[in-house]
Amino acid sequence: MRHLLWTLLVLLPGLSHSQGLPKPSPTHERGWFYYQPLPPLVPSAKPDPTRASPNEPDSMVPLGSAWLRKNLPIYLDRAVDQPTLANVRRYRYLERLAMDRSSAYSDTSARLTMLDPLLDEQQVSPLTALAKATRHREIDRDRQRLLEGISEQAGLWFFFRSDCPYCHAQVPALLSLARVHEFSILPISIDRKPMPGEGLPRFVPDNGQAAKLGVQVTPTLFLVHRDGRVLPLATGLQTMDQIEFRMIELGHTMGWISDAEFAAIQPLQNTLLDDVAADLDNGADPDQLIDQMIRQGAGRLGVGSPIQLPEAEMP
Protein backbone atom coordinates (compact mmCIF):
# COMPACT_ATOMS: atom_id res chain seq x y z
CA MET A 1 0.00 0.00 0.00
CA ARG A 2 2.85 2.40 0.74
CA HIS A 3 4.29 1.89 -2.76
CA LEU A 4 0.83 2.63 -4.14
CA LEU A 5 0.68 5.88 -2.14
CA TRP A 6 3.96 6.99 -3.70
CA THR A 7 2.75 6.07 -7.19
CA LEU A 8 -0.53 7.93 -6.79
CA LEU A 9 1.35 10.97 -5.49
CA VAL A 10 3.37 11.11 -8.71
CA LEU A 11 0.23 10.64 -10.82
CA LEU A 12 -1.82 13.20 -8.84
CA PRO A 13 -2.34 15.72 -11.72
CA GLY A 14 -4.21 13.02 -13.61
CA LEU A 15 -6.43 11.94 -10.71
CA SER A 16 -9.99 13.12 -10.19
CA HIS A 17 -11.55 14.52 -6.95
CA SER A 18 -13.61 13.20 -6.19
CA GLN A 19 -54.95 43.16 -4.29
CA GLY A 20 -56.56 47.00 -4.74
CA LEU A 21 -58.75 48.83 -2.34
CA PRO A 22 -62.51 48.81 -3.03
CA LYS A 23 -63.95 51.99 -4.49
CA PRO A 24 -66.16 54.01 -2.11
CA SER A 25 -69.87 54.07 -2.92
CA PRO A 26 -70.98 57.36 -4.50
CA THR A 27 -72.58 59.82 -2.08
CA HIS A 28 -72.87 62.87 -4.35
CA GLU A 29 -76.65 63.10 -3.97
CA ARG A 30 -76.25 63.29 -0.19
CA GLY A 31 -74.03 66.32 -0.33
CA TRP A 32 -70.44 66.86 0.60
CA PHE A 33 -71.40 67.42 4.22
CA TYR A 34 -72.97 63.96 4.57
CA TYR A 35 -71.39 61.42 6.88
CA GLN A 36 -72.45 58.13 8.36
CA PRO A 37 -72.33 58.37 12.15
CA LEU A 38 -70.23 55.73 13.84
CA PRO A 39 -71.88 53.41 16.35
CA PRO A 40 -71.13 54.31 19.95
CA LEU A 41 -68.31 52.42 21.61
CA VAL A 42 -69.51 49.93 24.19
CA PRO A 43 -66.80 48.84 26.60
CA SER A 44 -66.54 45.07 26.66
CA ALA A 45 -66.25 43.25 29.91
CA LYS A 46 -62.70 42.03 30.50
CA PRO A 47 -62.76 38.27 30.91
CA ASP A 48 -61.50 36.76 34.11
CA PRO A 49 -58.65 34.49 33.04
CA THR A 50 -59.09 32.35 36.14
CA ARG A 51 -62.68 31.40 35.28
CA ALA A 52 -63.57 28.96 32.55
CA SER A 53 -66.02 30.17 29.92
CA PRO A 54 -69.15 28.04 29.30
CA ASN A 55 -68.11 27.89 25.65
CA GLU A 56 -64.65 26.56 26.37
CA PRO A 57 -63.91 22.99 25.30
CA ASP A 58 -63.92 20.18 27.80
CA SER A 59 -60.11 20.29 27.95
CA MET A 60 -60.31 23.66 29.71
CA VAL A 61 -62.60 22.63 32.57
CA PRO A 62 -61.47 24.20 35.86
CA LEU A 63 -58.67 22.32 37.56
CA GLY A 64 -58.04 20.19 34.48
CA SER A 65 -54.52 19.79 33.14
CA ALA A 66 -54.94 22.34 30.32
CA TRP A 67 -56.54 24.78 32.77
CA LEU A 68 -53.67 24.33 35.20
CA ARG A 69 -51.04 24.91 32.50
CA LYS A 70 -52.74 28.18 31.59
CA ASN A 71 -53.63 29.47 35.04
CA LEU A 72 -50.86 28.34 37.37
CA PRO A 73 -48.60 31.22 36.22
CA ILE A 74 -51.48 33.68 36.78
CA TYR A 75 -52.06 32.51 40.33
CA LEU A 76 -48.30 32.55 40.96
CA ASP A 77 -48.03 36.17 39.79
CA ARG A 78 -50.96 37.11 42.00
CA ALA A 79 -49.38 35.39 45.00
CA VAL A 80 -46.04 37.13 44.40
CA ASP A 81 -47.51 40.59 43.69
CA GLN A 82 -50.10 40.37 46.49
CA PRO A 83 -48.73 37.79 48.95
CA THR A 84 -51.75 37.50 51.21
CA LEU A 85 -52.36 34.21 52.97
CA ALA A 86 -55.40 33.59 50.74
CA ASN A 87 -53.51 34.24 47.45
CA VAL A 88 -50.50 32.17 48.45
CA ARG A 89 -52.66 29.31 49.68
CA ARG A 90 -54.66 29.24 46.41
CA TYR A 91 -51.47 28.97 44.42
CA ARG A 92 -49.88 26.40 46.72
CA TYR A 93 -52.97 24.19 46.54
CA LEU A 94 -52.97 24.37 42.74
CA GLU A 95 -49.26 23.58 42.74
CA ARG A 96 -49.79 20.59 45.03
CA LEU A 97 -52.62 19.36 42.80
CA ALA A 98 -50.38 19.53 39.72
CA MET A 99 -47.55 17.71 41.51
CA ASP A 100 -49.87 14.95 42.76
CA ARG A 101 -51.22 14.37 39.27
CA SER A 102 -47.72 14.33 37.83
CA SER A 103 -46.63 11.78 40.43
CA ALA A 104 -49.65 9.60 39.67
CA TYR A 105 -48.83 9.73 35.96
CA SER A 106 -45.22 8.83 36.63
CA ASP A 107 -46.17 5.82 38.76
CA THR A 108 -48.64 4.55 36.17
CA SER A 109 -46.13 5.08 33.38
CA ALA A 110 -43.58 2.97 35.26
CA ARG A 111 -46.15 0.18 35.72
CA LEU A 112 -47.02 0.26 32.03
CA THR A 113 -43.37 0.07 31.04
CA MET A 114 -43.04 -3.18 32.95
CA LEU A 115 -46.19 -4.56 31.29
CA ASP A 116 -45.51 -3.45 27.70
CA PRO A 117 -42.19 -4.56 26.16
CA LEU A 118 -42.48 -1.97 23.40
CA LEU A 119 -42.10 0.81 25.98
CA ASP A 120 -39.15 -0.79 27.75
CA GLU A 121 -35.86 0.90 26.86
CA GLN A 122 -34.07 -2.37 27.53
CA GLN A 123 -35.52 -3.48 24.19
CA VAL A 124 -33.62 -0.63 22.52
CA SER A 125 -30.39 -0.08 24.40
CA PRO A 126 -28.73 -1.79 27.37
CA LEU A 127 -29.16 0.09 30.64
CA THR A 128 -27.23 -1.97 33.19
CA ALA A 129 -23.47 -1.57 33.57
CA LEU A 130 -22.79 -5.16 32.51
CA ALA A 131 -24.99 -4.88 29.43
CA LYS A 132 -23.41 -1.56 28.45
CA ALA A 133 -19.91 -2.98 28.76
CA THR A 134 -20.87 -5.95 26.61
CA ARG A 135 -22.36 -3.66 23.98
CA HIS A 136 -19.25 -1.47 23.94
CA ARG A 137 -17.03 -4.50 23.42
CA GLU A 138 -19.18 -5.59 20.48
CA ILE A 139 -18.96 -2.13 18.89
CA ASP A 140 -15.19 -1.93 19.39
CA ARG A 141 -14.74 -5.34 17.77
CA ASP A 142 -16.87 -4.39 14.75
CA ARG A 143 -15.11 -1.03 14.37
CA GLN A 144 -11.74 -2.74 14.43
CA ARG A 145 -12.83 -5.08 11.66
CA LEU A 146 -14.19 -2.23 9.52
CA LEU A 147 -11.03 -0.15 9.91
CA GLU A 148 -8.83 -3.09 9.01
CA GLY A 149 -10.93 -3.53 5.89
CA ILE A 150 -10.43 0.12 4.94
CA SER A 151 -6.68 -0.15 5.54
CA GLU A 152 -6.53 -2.92 2.94
CA GLN A 153 -8.06 -0.57 0.35
CA ALA A 154 -6.67 2.85 1.22
CA GLY A 155 -3.83 4.70 2.91
CA LEU A 156 -3.21 8.19 4.29
CA TRP A 157 -1.48 11.27 2.93
CA PHE A 158 -0.32 13.48 5.80
CA PHE A 159 0.46 17.09 4.79
CA PHE A 160 2.59 18.87 7.38
CA ARG A 161 5.08 21.66 7.98
CA SER A 162 8.22 21.11 9.97
CA ASP A 163 7.53 24.20 12.16
CA CYS A 164 3.83 23.37 12.80
CA PRO A 165 3.26 22.38 16.47
CA TYR A 166 -0.12 20.86 15.61
CA CYS A 167 1.55 18.63 13.05
CA HIS A 168 3.97 17.45 15.74
CA ALA A 169 1.03 16.69 18.04
CA GLN A 170 -0.71 14.76 15.25
CA VAL A 171 2.08 12.23 14.82
CA PRO A 172 1.29 9.92 17.82
CA ALA A 173 -2.28 9.34 16.60
CA LEU A 174 -1.04 8.51 13.12
CA LEU A 175 1.54 6.09 14.46
CA SER A 176 -1.18 4.39 16.52
CA LEU A 177 -3.34 4.06 13.41
CA ALA A 178 -0.44 2.44 11.59
CA ARG A 179 0.28 0.08 14.47
CA VAL A 180 -3.30 -0.90 15.42
CA HIS A 181 -5.00 -0.94 12.02
CA GLU A 182 -1.95 -1.34 9.76
CA PHE A 183 -2.60 1.85 7.80
CA SER A 184 0.07 2.99 5.34
CA ILE A 185 0.97 6.65 5.86
CA LEU A 186 2.85 8.92 3.48
CA PRO A 187 4.03 12.19 5.11
CA ILE A 188 4.31 15.12 2.66
CA SER A 189 6.27 18.18 3.78
CA ILE A 190 4.87 21.47 2.49
CA ASP A 191 8.03 23.38 3.47
CA ARG A 192 10.13 20.48 2.16
CA LYS A 193 11.79 19.97 5.54
CA PRO A 194 11.68 16.90 7.77
CA MET A 195 9.55 16.60 10.88
CA PRO A 196 11.76 16.85 13.98
CA GLY A 197 11.76 13.75 16.14
CA GLU A 198 11.51 10.08 15.51
CA GLY A 199 8.72 7.77 14.46
CA LEU A 200 7.34 9.09 11.17
CA PRO A 201 8.04 7.21 7.97
CA ARG A 202 10.38 8.89 5.54
CA PHE A 203 8.68 12.00 4.16
CA VAL A 204 8.52 13.32 0.60
CA PRO A 205 8.70 17.03 -0.28
CA ASP A 206 5.62 18.71 -1.65
CA ASN A 207 5.86 19.17 -5.41
CA GLY A 208 2.58 20.99 -5.99
CA GLN A 209 0.28 18.35 -4.56
CA ALA A 210 -0.84 20.63 -1.69
CA ALA A 211 -1.91 23.36 -4.15
CA LYS A 212 -3.58 20.81 -6.40
CA LEU A 213 -5.60 19.45 -3.47
CA GLY A 214 -6.34 22.89 -1.98
CA VAL A 215 -4.47 22.37 1.28
CA GLN A 216 -4.77 25.58 3.31
CA VAL A 217 -3.77 24.56 6.82
CA THR A 218 -1.70 21.88 8.45
CA PRO A 219 -2.07 19.18 9.43
CA THR A 220 -4.32 17.92 6.66
CA LEU A 221 -5.17 14.28 5.97
CA PHE A 222 -6.38 12.63 2.77
CA LEU A 223 -7.63 9.07 2.39
CA VAL A 224 -6.16 7.65 -0.82
CA HIS A 225 -7.95 4.65 -2.29
CA ARG A 226 -6.08 2.11 -4.35
CA ASP A 227 -8.31 2.92 -7.36
CA GLY A 228 -6.75 6.39 -7.44
CA ARG A 229 -9.38 8.45 -5.64
CA VAL A 230 -8.00 11.07 -3.25
CA LEU A 231 -10.61 11.91 -0.62
CA PRO A 232 -10.44 14.73 1.99
CA LEU A 233 -10.46 13.17 5.44
CA ALA A 234 -9.61 15.79 8.08
CA THR A 235 -8.18 19.29 8.50
CA GLY A 236 -6.52 20.36 11.71
CA LEU A 237 -5.39 18.38 14.71
CA GLN A 238 -7.48 15.24 15.28
CA THR A 239 -7.52 12.53 17.91
CA MET A 240 -7.23 8.91 16.88
CA ASP A 241 -10.93 8.34 17.65
CA GLN A 242 -11.89 11.28 15.44
CA ILE A 243 -9.80 9.98 12.56
CA GLU A 244 -11.30 6.51 12.93
CA PHE A 245 -14.82 7.96 13.02
CA ARG A 246 -14.18 9.99 9.87
CA MET A 247 -12.72 6.99 8.08
CA ILE A 248 -15.78 4.87 8.85
CA GLU A 249 -18.17 7.65 7.82
CA LEU A 250 -16.26 8.17 4.59
CA GLY A 251 -16.06 4.44 3.97
CA HIS A 252 -19.82 4.13 4.37
CA THR A 253 -20.43 7.10 2.07
CA MET A 254 -18.17 5.64 -0.59
CA GLY A 255 -19.79 2.21 -0.38
CA TRP A 256 -16.84 0.35 1.12
CA ILE A 257 -18.95 -0.31 4.24
CA SER A 258 -22.47 -1.69 3.88
CA ASP A 259 -25.52 -0.15 5.56
CA ALA A 260 -25.84 -3.20 7.82
CA GLU A 261 -22.18 -3.00 8.88
CA PHE A 262 -22.48 0.73 9.54
CA ALA A 263 -25.72 0.32 11.54
CA ALA A 264 -24.11 -2.36 13.71
CA ILE A 265 -21.68 0.16 15.27
CA GLN A 266 -24.16 3.01 15.78
CA PRO A 267 -25.91 3.83 19.07
CA LEU A 268 -29.15 1.91 19.14
CA GLN A 269 -32.20 3.99 18.25
CA ASN A 270 -35.82 2.89 18.58
CA THR A 271 -37.63 3.94 15.39
CA LEU A 272 -40.15 1.09 15.40
CA LEU A 273 -43.18 3.21 16.34
CA ASP A 274 -42.11 5.96 13.94
CA ASP A 275 -42.01 3.39 11.15
CA VAL A 276 -45.42 2.03 12.18
CA ALA A 277 -46.97 5.53 12.35
CA ALA A 278 -45.76 6.31 8.82
CA ASP A 279 -47.93 3.48 7.47
CA LEU A 280 -51.13 4.44 9.29
CA ASP A 281 -54.16 6.23 7.79
CA ASN A 282 -53.90 9.77 9.13
CA GLY A 283 -57.56 10.42 8.32
CA ALA A 284 -58.77 8.03 10.99
CA ASP A 285 -59.94 8.94 14.49
CA PRO A 286 -56.90 9.72 16.66
CA ASP A 287 -57.83 7.16 19.33
CA GLN A 288 -58.24 4.51 16.66
CA LEU A 289 -54.89 5.48 15.17
CA ILE A 290 -53.17 5.08 18.52
CA ASP A 291 -54.81 1.72 19.18
CA GLN A 292 -53.80 0.56 15.71
CA MET A 293 -50.25 1.68 16.37
CA ILE A 294 -50.22 -0.32 19.63
CA ARG A 295 -51.37 -3.48 17.86
CA GLN A 296 -48.97 -3.17 14.93
CA GLY A 297 -46.07 -2.20 17.16
CA ALA A 298 -46.50 -5.32 19.27
CA GLY A 299 -46.60 -7.41 16.11
CA ARG A 300 -43.39 -5.96 14.70
CA LEU A 301 -41.63 -6.37 18.00
CA GLY A 302 -42.53 -10.05 17.94
CA VAL A 303 -44.50 -10.16 21.18
CA GLY A 304 -47.82 -11.02 19.53
CA SER A 305 -50.93 -9.25 20.79
CA PRO A 306 -50.43 -6.15 22.94
CA ILE A 307 -50.79 -6.55 26.70
CA GLN A 308 -54.41 -6.59 27.82
CA LEU A 309 -54.98 -3.91 30.44
CA PRO A 310 -57.23 -4.56 33.46
CA GLU A 311 -60.84 -3.51 32.97
CA ALA A 312 -60.52 -0.87 35.71
CA GLU A 313 -57.69 0.76 33.74
CA MET A 314 -59.68 1.11 30.52
CA PRO A 315 -61.30 4.48 29.65
How many Å apart are CA 279 and CA 260, to the nearest integer?
23
Q: Is residue 179 part of a domain?
A: yes
Residue range 137-182, pLDDT digits in tens: 888 899 999 999 999 999 999 999 989 999 999 999 999 999 999 8
DSSP 192: S
Q: Is residue 83 part of a domain?
A: yes
Beta-carbon count within 10 A of 79 CB: 20
220-225/154-160 β-pairing? antiparallel
Q: Provide the domain count of the chain.
A: 3
The reply to whether 95 and 190 lie within a common domain is: no
Q: Does residue 28 have a pLDDT over 90?
A: no
- Residue 106: pLDDT band (50, 70, 90) is very high
- Residue 203: pLDDT band (50, 70, 90) is confident
Could you tell me the pTM of the whole model? 0.54
Q: pLDDT value at position 22?
A: 44
DSSP 105: H
- Supply the CATH number for residue 218's domain: 3.40.30.10
The reply to whether 252 and 286 lie within a common domain is: no
**Structural domain of 93:** 58-109
Is 16 within 8 Å of 229 (Cβ atoms)? yes
Q: Is residue 285 part of a domain?
A: yes
- Angle, in degrees to the nearest 10, between helices 85-115 and 65-81: 150
Q: Is residue 164 part of a domain?
A: yes
Q: Is residue 14 part of a domain?
A: no
More confident residue, 66 or 15: 66
The reply to whether 149 and 212 lie within a common domain is: yes
Q: Pick the last residue of a domain from 109, 144, 177.
A: 109
The reply to whether 139 and 259 lie within a common domain is: yes
By three-state DSSP, how is residue 122 classified?
A: helix
Kindly provide the residue ranges of all beta strands, DSSP E only, lying in 177-278, ordered along the sequence.
185-189, 204-205, 220-225, 230-235
